[in-house]
A and B are shown apart, each in its own frame.
Chain A
Amino acid sequence: MERFFEELKNRRFVVPRCEECGKHIFPPRVFCPFCGSERLEWGEVSGRGTLYAYTTNKGGLHFREQTVGIVELEEGFRILSLIGRPLEELRIGQPVKLEFIEVETLEGKVTLHKFTPIPSQPQDSV
């Protein structure tokens, strides 16, 4: 997990990917939970995904009130993240894109990932 947060500081969202079965692995591990292989390669992911679920985290550590959600990434895993819009503007399945945010925490300043809905394209008339 350390490397994941280190790379976030450089605004890079990286996770290990199994070179045997091709799956992206989260949280990071030293071997692939699906096929057991130790041949893992860390690499950047697309940062594209859809909103799986969302709610408000009240009384959290770094924010008094913050929208959080679970994002389902194109690479096939889910992750808890901050969501950059109020609840009313969100819906399940909405496409989201990756951003970064610096936050003051008990462990000092850290960079976190954050996802924001991609505005839907204006509908072309057929």
Chain B
Amino acid sequence: MVKNRPFLGTEVFLLKVAIVGGSLTEIKSRLDADAFTLSLRVIREALRDANLEAKDIDGILTTPPGYFTDPSDMDRFAPQRMGEYLYTNAKAQAMIDMGGMTSLAAVKYGAYEIMQGRCRTVLIYASEKYVSREKWNPQRHTYLIHLVNGIYGPHDRRYGVMRAAVYYAMAAQRYMYEYKVSREEIAHVPVVLRENASMNPKAQYREPITVEDVLNSRPVCPPLNLLDCCPVSEGGAAVILADEKTARNLGKDDCYIVGIGEAHDPTSFFPVYQSVTEIPSLRRATREALRHAGMSLRDIDVAEVYGPFSGTELMVYEEMGFYERGEAAKAVAEGRTKINGDTPINPSGGRLSFGHPPYVTPLAEIYEIVAQLRGEAGKRQVEDAEAGLVHAEHGMMNGNMVMIVKRR
């Protein structure tokens, strides 16, 4: 039985938050539906999963419509439009933006609405669509160049950086240098994630790969090769939260959010003053979420973490406390993070093989953890999974959010 605990050190009694429904499209490099259609599809499926109707929804929270979507699809009124389309009388509507952790931040907002008793049910949805090749004309091209390039800040944008891999590669290089980790050892990460993805029918890449495949794949930014990097992905996902009483009435009171942690470092991309191989905010966020849940890392049966590149994935495992610094590569190579290992991480296939539509990713992670806790994960089911962890970050691990979900 999930027990209520004083929240964030206060003695205020708050309502418990259940995850009563979820849905996820398949993840692909291209999906043949626009962002709004994808969103509608996942919303309807999530409502069905939760035994709810649209009119029962008290809160509608979403992300901006895709990171690099066509400017004409950039609807700044997305939640309003959805409220009108679903014909709800909501008590909370918002579009939230905080880089890669956006949809998890939206879930946190929704969870607070439920905890306070303002909303009984909150819908969080996201879809990710990229600008189509046909529409990629020079005028829009310039707009998108500025959008992509601008992510890296007023100084670095002058240097013409167009991909995050440049920075993540240098972080991986430092990690290898500081902890004497070899290129071959890191190559086990994509291999294990692909093995997990091969059991996930919704994953973008499912063909098994070997360490040699990773080492021989096209160099992107040394030391990172193509198979060390997350792909460009499209997809959609939705999650519905409810208070305990509503969840019970729906017959959907099996999974509860029991811990939330969030922390940010004073950095926005590559750190100017701090070490790039340490992520203090991830450690803080993990500790806060565990403290809130009254649990320790050993109580976590399965985790979905946000590692967009192989080297960073290892740093995430270590910073969260699963392994000592410099030890994660060895653990992965030994199979400890596999589904039947002692610390199963990213059974979905992770960002590298499941796919990575940034605004959707945190909701897809929740979807996977709920499937694991409900015992509905099929071939990739982690045995007796009772507690799961979800992680998201923004920038280059500059800020982190951790959520713990527990089976009743």
Residues of chain A touching chain B, judged by Cβ–Cβ distance below 8 Å, are 1, 4-5, 26-27, 33, 52-63, 66, 68-70, 76-82, 87, 92, 105-106, 110, 112
Closest-by-CB residue of A relative to B156 is A80
Closest-by-CB residue of A relative to B175 is A53
Given contacts A57-B166, A77-B273, contact A62 B160 (CB under 8 A): yes
Asked if A27 and B145 sit within 8 Å, CB to CB, the answer is no
Asked if A80 and B145 sit within 8 Å, CB to CB, the answer is no
How many Å from the CB of A122 to the closest CB on chain B? Answer: 26
Chain A residues contacting B4 (CB-CB under 8 Å) are none
9 contacts between A and B (CB under 8 A): A57-B166, A60-B160, A62-B159, A68-B159, A69-B170, A70-B170, A70-B270, A79-B272, A80-B156
How many Å from the CB of A86 to the closest CB on chain B? Answer: 11
Asked if A57 and B173 sit within 8 Å, CB to CB, the answer is no
Docked pose: A82 CA to B155 CA in angstroms: 13
Asked if B155 and A80 sit within 8 Å, CB to CB, the answer is yes
Docked pose: A115 CA to B100 CA in angstroms: 32
Given contacts A61-B145, A79-B272, contact A92 B174 (CB under 8 A): yes
Docked pose: A56 CA to B163 CA in angstroms: 11
Docked pose: A26 CA to B276 CA in angstroms: 16
Docked pose: A82 CA to B158 CA in angstroms: 11
Asked if A106 and B161 sit within 8 Å, CB to CB, the answer is no
Asked if B221 and A56 sit within 8 Å, CB to CB, the answer is yes
Which of A53, A77, A78 gathers most chain B CB within 10 Å? A53
Which of A56, A57, A81 gathers most chain B CB within 10 Å? A57
Residues of chain B touching chain A, judged by Cβ–Cβ distance below 8 Å, are 142, 145-146, 149, 153-156, 158-163, 166, 169-171, 173-174, 177, 219-224, 266, 270-273, 276
Asked if A110 and B273 sit within 8 Å, CB to CB, the answer is no
Pick the 4 closest A-B CB pairs, nearest first: A61-B160, A53-B170, A60-B160, A1-B154
Given contacts A55-B169, A55-B222, A87-B222, contact A110 B158 (CB under 8 A): yes
Question: Which one of B149, B161, B169 lies within 8 Å of A80 (CB-CB)?
Answer: B161
Asked if B161 and A52 sit within 8 Å, CB to CB, the answer is no
Asked if B170 and A58 sit within 8 Å, CB to CB, the answer is no
Docked pose: A53 CA to B146 CA in angstroms: 26
How many Å from the CB of B186 to the closest CB on chain A? Answer: 15
Asked if B142 and A106 sit within 8 Å, CB to CB, the answer is yes
Asked if A79 and B174 sit within 8 Å, CB to CB, the answer is no
Docked pose: A4 CA to B173 CA in angstroms: 29
Docked pose: A58 CA to B169 CA in angstroms: 12
Asked if A58 and B221 sit within 8 Å, CB to CB, the answer is yes
How many Å from the CB of B169 to the closest CB on chain A? Answer: 4
Docked pose: A59 CA to B161 CA in angstroms: 8
Which of A1, A61, A62, A80 gathers most chain B CB within 10 Å? A80
Asked if B162 and A61 sit within 8 Å, CB to CB, the answer is yes
Closest-by-CB residue of A relative to B220 is A58
Docked pose: A75 CA to B271 CA in angstroms: 15
Chain B residues contacting A1 (CB-CB under 8 Å) are 154-155
Which of B145, B160, B170 gathers most chain A CB within 10 Å? B160
Asked if B270 and A78 sit within 8 Å, CB to CB, the answer is yes
Asked if A59 and B162 sit within 8 Å, CB to CB, the answer is yes
Question: Which one of A27, A53, A63, A112 lies within 8 Å of B272 (CB-CB)?
Answer: A27
Closest-by-CB residue of B relative to A28 is B155
Asked if B173 and A55 sit within 8 Å, CB to CB, the answer is yes
Docked pose: A55 CA to B120 CA in angstroms: 50
How many Å from the CB of B167 to the closest CB on chain A? Answer: 8
How many Å from the CB of A121 to the closest CB on chain B? Answer: 23
Closest-by-CB residue of B relative to A111 is B158
